[in-house]
Amino acid sequence: MSRRRRPVVPGAGHGLDLFKAEVMKKQGYATNAERPDQVKYEVARTLGIPLQAPGANGNLTTEQAGKVGGQIGGTMVREMIRMAQEQLARGKRQT
């Protein structure tokens, strides 16, 4: 059974998808500006994981799904931390 995760901020989903595509593009993955949520299929392909259309992935193991999600989520978190550190450093220089 699939879970539907929702962003804490209503309406932020599209922005998060765009951020995901931008971050993964920097990592060398092919992304589609019109369908940024599709980058997961590119990540899965490069990891050798047979990710298919939504609802057709019942044969994936938890480990396989975690590798795809972890690759994307971990990269996004590292980029957000880098951005926050950069912003903090700029703020300290201004005071």
What are the structural domain ranges in the chain?
A: 13-94
- Within 8 A by CB and 6+ apart from 65, the residues are 57
pLDDT of residue 83: 95
pLDDT of residue 94: 62
Positions of the chain with pLDDT under 50: 1
pLDDT of residue 58: 78
Asked if residues 68 and 43 have their Cβ atoms less than 8 Å apart, the reply is yes
